């Protein structure tokens, strides 16, 4: 029976269970070391000369159901002929130094942290937040992108997109968008940080990078140009359309405030111009919504112009090739540049400034949809943990969710998802 228990707990071979005590949510196993010798840490020789026994150590080993399994071991000290006057303490297998947990428990802890908050794990396992943070920091090191995960790809298409953590702190997610491989999360979205991290890419991988899809951030674009001059920089079409919707909504808000200001002078109540209907894609409108939108735009001619320009931006991405998209974009910019609306003129200048990056989409039709999806999962990590105050801890916990556990912790590749195992 004892051998079966030691086999289940993976402590067979060296240990013998001498006593078992059960408590409410705990199981205590008292162990005796069967080996009569120990390896000297100084010379590596094995010695049988005993010196004394140390006080019993209580070590958290694993969980069985809702119970915590504790091992009680009394380490021994030995004397080696290399330094007879300095006894050494035997090394306990599966235990690092003077820790109160075994390596097996540390692995289970990382599995718990991949889907639960620190406070939840504390309630289940009784381990404090500093202890959990220490083990998480040792197990996961995502501050350098995992370029090894794209080692087998002949073409690499990067995606970079930032998301908010707390206050005004943003982090930057790096992915391979075609194959759907998360590479890392940077501690901030500053140009110098992005440039330094991208520069860590091995030279043999740099020539394989074909595109880098980003949002409208000049610092990120400049960093990519410096590190990967041969790569095509693509402004994600989602951000281009999002920018168009934002400008349309701002025009709607200004129009609404101007109308309500005049109505206030006349003693009339305020009105609200619905914005959701105008932001919705034209092809997704129902027949009833189409009628309502036509009536709305006929009532506000200025907003009708903004709406048509927004739809023209969307139509650029329906083009079959770059040439057709370039013609539509050029025509749209010309219309905006002759407008008497100052905001439309600024919008046209912005499209002209990013013209090449917008049209680069048609080379490989890469998008940042995968990266945006990862950011949504990162937001879920924040909600589960009720927010973070330490960015490094947040990044490590997010990488546990984004990568399979075997990849995030051990550095091996999950073959079913990623191209090839690491050599």
Average pLDDT over residues 198-205: 90
- What is the CATH superfamily name and number for domain 147-236+367-410? Ribonuclease H-like superfamily/Ribonuclease H (3.30.420.10)
Predicted pLDDT at 417: 43
State yes or no: pLDDT of 422 exceeds 80: no
- Judging by beta carbons within 10 Å of its beta carbon (0-12, 13-18, 19+), is residue 9 exposed, middle or buried? buried
Average pLDDT over residues 406-419: 49
Could you tell me the pLDDT band of residue 3, with boundaries at 50, 70 and 90? low
Predicted pLDDT at 157: 95
Identity of the highest mean pLDDT range in 128-142, 279-293, 374-388, 397-411:
279-293
Going by the DSSP 8-state scheme, the letter that residue 186 receives in this structure is E
Alpha-helical regions (H) of 275-341: 276-279, 287-299, 301-316, 322-337
Structure tokens at 279: 């932001």
pTM given for the model: 0.80
The residues with which 224 forms a beta bridge, in sequence order, are: none
Q: Write the CA distances from 121 to 116, 173, 202, 224, integer angstroms.
A: 7, 26, 38, 40
State yes or no: pLDDT of 8 exceeds 90: no
pLDDT by residue (tens digit) across 147-197?
A: 888 888 999 999 999 988 888 889 999 999 999 999 988 888 899 999 999
State yes or no: pLDDT of 132 exceeds 70: yes
Predicted pLDDT at 104: 85
Average pLDDT over residues 116-137: 86
Report which of 59, 55, 7 is spatially closest to residue 29, judged by C-alpha positions: 59
State yes or no: pLDDT of 380 exceeds 80: yes
Tell me which of 23-37, 172-186, 282-296 is least confident: 23-37
Domain ranges of the chain: 2-100, 106-139, 147-236+367-410, 238-364
Could you list the beta-strand ranges (E) of 8-54.
15-22, 26-33, 38-39, 46-47, 50-53
Maximum Cα interatomic distance, the chain, rounded to a whole number of Å: 103
Phi-psi region of 230 (alpha: psi -120 to 50; beta: other; left: phi over 0): alpha
Tell me which of 7-11, 150-154, 361-365, 378-382 is least confident: 7-11
Could you tell me the pLDDT band of residue 414, with boundaries at 50, 70 and 90? very low
Average pLDDT over residues 237-245: 93
Predicted pLDDT at 63: 85
Mean pLDDT of the residues in the chain: 86
List, in order, residues 6 or more apart from 118 with CB less than 8 Å away: 129, 132, 133, 385
State yes or no: pLDDT of 69 exceeds 60: yes
Average pLDDT over residues 299-324: 93
């Amino acid at each position: 029976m004892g051998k079966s228990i030691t086999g289940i707990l993976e402590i067979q071979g060296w240990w013998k269970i001498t006593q078992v005590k059960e408590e409410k949510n705990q199981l205590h196993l008292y162990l005796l070391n069967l080996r009569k010798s120990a390896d000297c840490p100084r010379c590596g020789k094995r010695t049988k000369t005993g010196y004394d026994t140390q006080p019993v150590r209580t070590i958290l080993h694993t969980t069985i159901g809702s119970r915590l399994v504790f091992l009680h071991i009394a380490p021994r000290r030995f004397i080696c002929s290399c330094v007879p006057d300095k006894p050494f303490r035997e090394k306990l297998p599966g235990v690092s130094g003077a820790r109160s947990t075994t390596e097996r428990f540390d692995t289970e802890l990382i599995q718990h942290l991949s889907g639960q908050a620190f406070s939840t794990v504390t309630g289940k396992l009784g381990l404090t937040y500093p202890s959990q943070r220490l083990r998480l920091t040792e197990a996961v090191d995502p501050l350098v992108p995992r370029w090894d995960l794209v080692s087998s790809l002949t073409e690499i298409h990067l995606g970079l997109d930032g998301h908010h953590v707390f206050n005004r702190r943003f982090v930057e997610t790096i992915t391979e968008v075609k194959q759907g491989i998360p590479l890392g999360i940077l501690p901030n979205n500053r140009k110098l940080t992005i440039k330094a991290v991208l520069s860590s890419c091995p030279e043999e991988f740099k020539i394989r990078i074909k595109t880098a899809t980003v949002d409208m951030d000049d610092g990120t674009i400049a960093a990519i140009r410096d590190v990967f001059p041969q790569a095509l920089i693509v402004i994600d079409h989602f951000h281009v359309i999002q920018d168009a919707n934002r400008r349309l909504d701002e025009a709607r808000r200004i129009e609404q405030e101007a109308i309500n200001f005049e109505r206030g002078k006349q003693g009339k109540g305020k009105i609200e111009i619905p914005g959701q209907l105008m932001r919705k894609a034209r092809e997704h409108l129902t027949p009833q919504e189409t009628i309502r939108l036509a009536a709305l735009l006929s009532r506000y001619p200025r907003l009708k112009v903004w709406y048509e320009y927004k739809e023209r931006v969307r139509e650029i991405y329906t083009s079959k090739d770059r040439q057709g998209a370039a013609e539509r974009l050029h025509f749209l910019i010309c219309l905006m540049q002759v407008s008497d609306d100052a905001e439309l003129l600024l919008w046209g200048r912005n499209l002209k400034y990013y013209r090449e990056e917008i049209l680069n989409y048609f080379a490989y039709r890469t998008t940042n949809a995968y990266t945006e999806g990862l950011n949504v999962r990162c937001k879920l990590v924040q909600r589960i943990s009720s927010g973070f105050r330490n960015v490094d801890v947040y990044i490590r916990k997010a990488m546990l969710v984004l990568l399979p556990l075997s990849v995030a912790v051990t550095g091996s590749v999950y073959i079913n998802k990623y191209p090839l195992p690491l050599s």
